[in-house]
Structure 1
Amino acid sequence: MQKPVFLTRLVFSSALISSLASAPAIAQQPQVADTLRRGADSARTLTSVEVVATASGQGVTRSANAVTKADLRAAPAGTSALRVIEKLPGVNFQSAEPLGLYEWSNRVTIRGFQTPQIGQTFDGLPLGDMSYGNFNGLGIGRAVDAENINATSVTQGTGALGTASSNNLGGVIQYESEDPFNKRTASIRQMVGEDNARKTFLRADLGLRSLGTNAAVKGFVSFSRLDSDKWKGSGERFSPERGALFGSDGFLFDAAEHWQDHINTKVVALIGAHKFTAYYNFADRKEADYTDLSLQRFRQSGRDWDQFSSWSAAQAAAQSETPDEAYFHSAIGARRDHLGYLAADFGLPGDARLVVTPYFHTNDGVGDWHAPNYGATWSPDPIYFRETQYDTERRGVVARATATIAFNRLEGGLWYESNTANIRRVGWRLRDFSSSPDVDFDNVLRLFFDRTGDIGTTVAYLQNTNSVLSDRLTLTYGAKYLKIDADFQNNGITIANAATAPDTARPDASFPVKGQVLPQFGAVFAASPTDQLFANLSENVNAFPYSPQSGVYNTSPTAFARFNDATDPERATTFELGVRTRRARVEASLAAYTINYRHRLIGVAVCPLTATCVSSFANVGDVSTRGIEALTIVRLAPALALHTAASYNRSTIDDNYRTTEDDPTSEVESKGKDVVDAPRVLVSSSLRYLKRGFTAGFGGRYVDKRYFSIMNDISVPDYTLFDANVGYRFTGVRGVREVSVQLNVWNLFDKSHISTMGTGGFTVTGDSQTLNAGARRLVFFTVGTSF
């Protein structure tokens, strides 16, 4: 049934591209092109704070590495940039599927820091903490189409002072969108693969258009549709179609288990020394859930264990002694996002510049399960239908200015964001549990909660850069100020006919992060034209976990005062030093670091995933981290390069802690234990061949064992995966500029392994349903062309 759908898409795409390509071109004037280059170069540094232009981070006063457009294109169409950066030193990315699109399981750790402690920005704008519950941002896969990303850089230590993030305790990932092309172009990429995977990407570029002798404009618009079934399970999803967001199959065509419609448009206008950029993004998606496994279940049943497609099997499981081992196959997450910004980059007298970028982001979403009731008396049946509803609105502005005064290169800036996040969870009874999973949406069994968080974040910074010793030594120093106001409200009974509403007595609460001044110092010394030494010392704090459904407001009311009066925000002091070189055939970097991490909070699982209970955070106190990271790119021949990244990290808890502060018998002997989800050794190596349009790559990645209990009594084993790709770019084809074809194989030797951990939190000791199995061997084919 899929072949006609694919052919329909191909015909539709070809017709659209042909119509766009037939429009007449307008010649550009030379002075307009000069203006374009000048504006683009000036803005590129400012709007992304600190763009890393080379793999080893040349010229940067901290550890930093980058992947390019070519690296992103070497992956199958639709692959998240998060999957591509796992080749960089110290980066551990995990997901239950190979493209990195399943947000429930997407996790990235760097130097022992987990996802909520790593800042992420897109074109300099905040993406939040990448939490699944959608309260302060969105995943990169919804902020921009993967085909429109130009480059991605990773700062393994604390990012630049101007980073628009309140959670960049352990590094920053920066994504940069591609600017419109100077030439009018129509592009198409089509991916097909196993498990009904397919993505159609269409893009039309206006080309550079002169608006006079000193002005120009260019822009693009793109649309893509991505579909894929899970690599295991039934291949179809039970959806009780409730509303357009939940029941929709998107704009076009039949929907697979996972689908996403994506629209991007970007316009760049230049007037003299000024550059103005407008960007809009629309993403509409639904993803099907994989079952979260315990280690025992993975060992007993293998990686293919998944949710039940049989209602009778789900009924039996819900009434067994282990009702949370698997569920009926209705579990999905749906999200709809609008994101936009206007960036005004003003060229001021001398070399001064001012960039002001207001932005907005809205999100609506749901997460659904047919969940077991665990014997609860409020549910007459062993299974009920549960939905968590998300409604988020963010508005903010990022501004920064630079100017040279005497021998000082000054930079200052401000980030302010107002974020309102409403999250509600509702449970409905089934129409007839004994016969079918159909839901009676008129019978509300339970309003679990309805909460709103209002979070206001203010960051201001000032830094100075001096170049001395004939510009061989660059010193950068400064500080930033961070203040967060976070107020939470219980909305009470917002569904009048709810039979039960257990959360109505929860009081309103506030959890501010009081003003913090955080210094940073960095230096880079050019020992020779090819070799550099660098060092960086920085201080940073992390916002409290602010999700209204799973953060500090979801703790017991008696814990509110402890967070306000006795719990400080997570704080880290990072010192790193290193050396990097860039020569004709070798590019390399080596960095060593030490981190003093205080007030570490670890989310502890206290109930099954589908149950609703208070959150629990273990404040394990101080954590000491030491490590080393290395990157080498060796050009073995003009067409052959070897890329290798390796890291060693040891993150250990310094003290024992108590689960109940005043109870000595509750002490957990955590001193000396490794931090959860922090592999000590990571190694990635790949061989790439490129000659006369032919490309081929082969690589492997080793991930050391990882603990998922604080006491280190249980861990997932280490693993090594291999991938391969081969492709060819045809030029000189009549009627088109080029045609490219590419074949990718994920997990080449079909290694069974555990990917993500911590989906349901971590344990103090013992096993838990908090793991995802990694994908089996999968094959993808991508073809692209441009006119």
Structure 2
Amino acid sequence: MTSRRILALSTVLGGLAITPQLHAATASSTPEPRRTPAPAHASAHAPAAVQASVPPPKTPAADHAAAGARPGSPQPGSLRPAGTKPLTAVGTEAISIFGHGSTRQMTSVTRGMMQQSVPGTSPLKVLSQLPGVLYQSADPFGAYEYSSQMFMRGFSQSQLGFTLDDIPLGDQQFNNYNGLAVTRAIISDDVGGVDVSQGAGAIDVASTSNLGGAIQIHSLDPSHERGGTVAQTFGSNSTMRTYARFESGDLNASGTRFYVAYARLNGNLWKGGGYDHSDQVNAKFVQPLARESSLKLFFDWSSIQQFDYQDMTKNWLHTVGPNLANYYPNYTAAYNAAQGIYPAALTKTNDPFDAAYYAGTANRVDYLGGLTLDENLTSSLNWKTTLYAHSDNGYSTWTTPYMPSPNGAPLSQRIQTPGVTRGGFQTALTWKVARHTVNAGVWYEYGNFTEGRYFSQAPLLGQGSLGNPTTGFPAAQVFATAWQEAFSTRTFVFHMQDTYKVTNNLTVNAGFKSMIVNSGNSVPTQNAAINGTQIAQGHLEASNAFLPQVSANWRFLPHNELFFDVSHNMRSFPLDGFGTNVSATPWTASQSSFQATRNSLKPETDWVYEGGYRYTTPLISALASLYRINFSNRLQLITNNAGINPITAVQNVGGVTTNGAEASVTLRPVNGLSIYNSFSYAHSTYDQNVATSGGIEPTRGKLVPNYPQFMYKGSIAYTIGDFETHVDGSYLSHRELTYTNDLHVPGYFLMNFGARYRFGKVGPLKGVTASFNIYNLTNKTYIATTNELGNSFTNTGYNYFLMGAPRQFFGTISASF
């Protein structure tokens, strides 16, 4: 639900007056609570072993075929600079995923590792086994977008970079204005691999938000052989998922080929009424060209309908319990609650009016396409260009008891209609000369983000029901328009880098990028009677002509290497006017506040320093790294008061300093056995106190909320013949909920189990496989997503979070033909 509770974060100017450290204050405010989330399924085992066990030896031809490459032929794009090339692979590469040879900390998740999770699991959730990475979701799949929360070395997902086949996916906020959620951009079964840079993304990553690392997803290429795959998953909460892919195989001597894939998911929420439904189509076309060049076309269509899980507070957790849910489909209960007549359980809470609603939902349709020409002009000169376009439309609903209907019903349905239309291109030349590989290119994008908020009438009790809100936009019932806004953004980025192989064992990469992001908005409708204050209109530009990065790799002994990376990064201003995201956006300010600060407002920047050591042999893969981050002009969304009448403001909280360490080791003592462990520690604190209209908030030296200081991840995977099994676990220390650290959620340890057996050829089928997964093996009750509605300075009693799913079971049968 694009407009869920967080969306209800209406702003009241005055809760935090603008001071020299308040770059933008609050904006719209409605006497209504937050919004509720979007749908979720209940399924999916959390990612399994980060180190797959050693697979049986494969011939070179088999390796290429598995990757969708023509046997015996090199792959296009081989001129990509060192340290920026994809590290994903299949086969034996899965035994060493720590990015050996890279000049920065790179970790790759292979397709084989992703297949250890339940089909449909978000690729981002699979990454949660990596050191320094925290991924949270209220559902086992990680597909419930409102609850999707990712941190890497303390950076939230809106401060990381995401791409799919070089197509920018934006900053992955729930109410995305410049991209698309990973789960809607590609079917998880069609992911070929994921490359993760924990420290700083490569200079050529198409992102304007990656203060921290970058996540680059690669789609699977079509197979050279005609055939296909079908898979059926069954599981807890009536989960059913169907997947089918048809491979054309080579259509001619040049290797022209394509695939078309379809996935359909249906599953009920693990608590309360409602469901998660999605349909998705992927298609990819590959045309090999002369000189091992290629032309590739990728297409994605996605449609989702999701119901929300209700946000929780500590009071509601202790009085009602973890299974607190919305009333859907019981319209009578929601109607009575809007009149102050509550179920007995809710009367124990400190706020029964806000503890549950009828329903919150999301309905989205997306189209995404990209065309990539990877042309080797000569043996030493490569030209790569990607054209892309994306369209998103839909609506989200929340049944609010804070806005009565004109017919006398004590509640109404609030609707938001977000839309994204964007397109752009990237083009770059890579020239290899002597010991240098020089790469330079540009990225341009033009995007529009539109959104409106409306209220539709609810029926009187006994005269009908709101029914299922995902079945269509109730245009005929709309009685009020709260606001409408439109943003437009032009992005231009230039990059240049040189990878210099000083000696056979020493590689240095140095370069910079220049970034200009110009954004502006118009607000054709603002209903002051509903919204309170009026939000700002105007343009802002985030620009920096020189954002440098230097990195190096030294292989000082066989199997041993050292690396370091230093980078300067900038994040453009996020777009939002009416508090529909938990983002620090200047446009939530009043017009006068916006005008007063626009010339002095600075985008967030940082310096990232990292260094580390890698050791790689067939028996052991090990990694140890240290890092420091100096964050300047950190903009934070500050939330005060209840969700019913929130007061939010965007503040420059000054600097943040992070010091951290990570260590990972994978042991393969015997053939088929893999034992993986990783440890990470991060100490991320604010550099100064924050001045507000209410006085000084003592934030200096306090931990940054939502990210644990300590994490442990481990897994054991064993393969014997055609049978595979694994157990993985993760421990998170406590997480702070407030900026002054006076409230936190406890740490927890979570375990998952998976097993798979390959039956091989069965009749006309080339291969049949059965798999079984258990998510949350010990049925742990734990808090997953924290402060999805924003953090407050102190414990207000309205510090929200979402519960993690209980134990879930899933089984899958798949066959290839």
TM superposition score category, shorter chain reference: 0.7 to 0.9
**DSSP-derived class of the 1:492 partner:** strand
- Pick aligned residue for 1:565 from 566, 576, 599: 599
Distance 1:37 1:565 in 2: 58
- Distance 1:56-1:166 versus aligned 2 partners, 3 A rule: same
Distance 1:373 1:93 in 2: 33
Distance 1:35 1:313 in 2: 61
State the partner residue of 1:373.
402
**Higher alpha-carbon deviation: 557-566 or 157-166:** 557-566
Deviation at 1:501, TM superposition (A): 6.4
State the partner residue of 1:13.
none
User: Which amino acid is 1:81 matched to?
Assistant: P
State the partner residue of 1:532.
561
8 Å contact kept, 1:40–1:275:
no
1:303-322 aligned at under 5 Å gives the runs 303-309=322-328, 310-320=330-340, 322=351
- Pick aligned residue for 1:132 from 162, 170, 174: 174
- Distance 1:609-1:361 versus aligned 2 partners, 3 A rule: farther
In the alignment of these two chains, the number of paired residues is 721
Deviation at 1:609, TM superposition (A): 5.1
State the partner residue of 2:446.
418
Deviation at 1:415, TM superposition (A): 1.0
Distance 1:336 1:71 in 2: 29
Distance 2:750 2:536 in 1: 49
Q: Is 1:521 matched up with 2:526?
A: no
User: Which amino acid is 1:582 matched to?
Assistant: T
State the partner residue of 1:245.
none
Output one character per residue of 1:67-109: Cα deviation in whole Å (capped at 9) or x when no partner.
1111110011111111111000000000001110000000000
Deviation at 1:65, TM superposition (A): 0.9
State the partner residue of 1:452.
486
Unaligned runs of 5+ residues in structure 1 are: 1-29, 237-256
Q: Is 1:484 matched up with 2:517?
A: yes
Q: Is 1:42 matched up with 2:77?
A: yes
Distance 2:315 2:383 in 1: 57
- Pick aligned residue for 1:771 from 789, 792, 801: 801
Q: Is 1:165 matched up with 2:207?
A: yes
- Pick aligned residue for 2:147 from 105, 108, 129: 105
Distance 1:184 1:85 in 2: 31
Distance 1:169 1:499 in 2: 36
Distance 1:514 1:562 in 2: 20
**DSSP-derived class of the 1:326 partner:** coil
Deviation at 1:420, TM superposition (A): 0.2
- Distance 1:679-1:34 versus aligned 2 partners, 3 A rule: closer
Output one character per residue of 1:171-230: Cα deviation in whole Å (capped at 9) or x when no partner.
11111100001111211111110101111000011112334xxx3211100111111110
**DSSP-derived class of the 1:58 partner:** coil
Q: Is 1:620 matched up with 2:650?
A: no
Q: Identity of aligned pairs, percent? A: 27
Distance 2:419 2:750 in 1: 39
- Distance 1:77-1:188 versus aligned 2 partners, 3 A rule: same
State the partner residue of 2:118.
76
State the partner residue of 2:379.
350
1:242-391 aligned at under 5 Å gives the runs 257-273=275-291, 274-309=293-328, 310-320=330-340, 322=351, 325-373=354-402, 381-391=409-419
Q: Is 1:219 matched up with 2:258?
A: yes
Distance 2:607 2:408 in 1: 53
Output one character per residue of 1:154-176: Cα deviation in whole Å (capped at 9) or x when no partner.
11111000010000111111111
8 Å contact kept, 1:448–1:502:
yes
Deviation at 1:444, TM superposition (A): 3.6
8 Å contact kept, 1:394–1:420:
yes
Distance 2:407 2:162 in 1: 41
- Distance 1:775-1:301 versus aligned 2 partners, 3 A rule: same
**DSSP-derived class of the 2:654 partner:** strand
Distance 2:793 2:481 in 1: 30
**Higher alpha-carbon deviation: 181-190 or 300-309:** 300-309
User: Which amino acid is 2:183 matched to?
Assistant: G
8 Å contact kept, 1:39–1:270:
no
- Distance 1:329-1:737 versus aligned 2 partners, 3 A rule: farther
- Distance 1:588-1:227 versus aligned 2 partners, 3 A rule: same
**DSSP-derived class of the 2:507 partner:** strand
TM-score (norm 2): 0.84
- Pick aligned residue for 1:631 from 664, 688, 710: 664
Deviation at 1:658, TM superposition (A): 1.5
8 Å contact kept, 1:378–1:500:
no
Deviation at 1:38, TM superposition (A): 4.7
Unaligned runs of 5+ residues in structure 2 are: 1-64, 89-95, 341-349, 468-473, 580-584
- Pick aligned residue for 1:605 from 614, 617, 639: 639
State the partner residue of 1:401.
429
- Distance 1:48-1:443 versus aligned 2 partners, 3 A rule: farther
Distance 1:737 1:35 in 2: 20
- Distance 1:641-1:231 versus aligned 2 partners, 3 A rule: same
8 Å contact kept, 2:83–2:102:
no
Distance 1:360 1:713 in 2: 45
8 Å contact kept, 2:482–2:525:
no
**DSSP-derived class of the 1:565 partner:** coil
State the partner residue of 2:29.
none
Deviation at 1:567, TM superposition (A): 2.4
**DSSP-derived class of the 2:103 partner:** coil
Distance 2:800 2:808 in 1: 24
State the partner residue of 2:814.
784
1:138-177 aligned at under 5 Å gives the runs 138-177=180-219
- Distance 1:499-1:535 versus aligned 2 partners, 3 A rule: closer
User: Which amino acid is 2:213 matched to?
Assistant: G
8 Å contact kept, 1:588–1:631:
yes
State the partner residue of 2:20.
none
Relative contact order higher in (CA < 8 Å, ≥ 6 apart): 2
- Distance 1:503-1:50 versus aligned 2 partners, 3 A rule: farther
Distance 2:70 2:735 in 1: 52
8 Å contact kept, 1:346–1:353:
yes
Distance 1:659 1:419 in 2: 35
TM-score (norm 1): 0.88
Q: Is 1:715 matched up with 2:744?
A: yes
**DSSP-derived class of the 1:299 partner:** helix
Distance 1:558 1:719 in 2: 46
Deviation at 1:605, TM superposition (A): 2.5
User: Which amino acid is 2:231 matched to?
Assistant: R
User: Which amino acid is 2:276 matched to?
Assistant: H
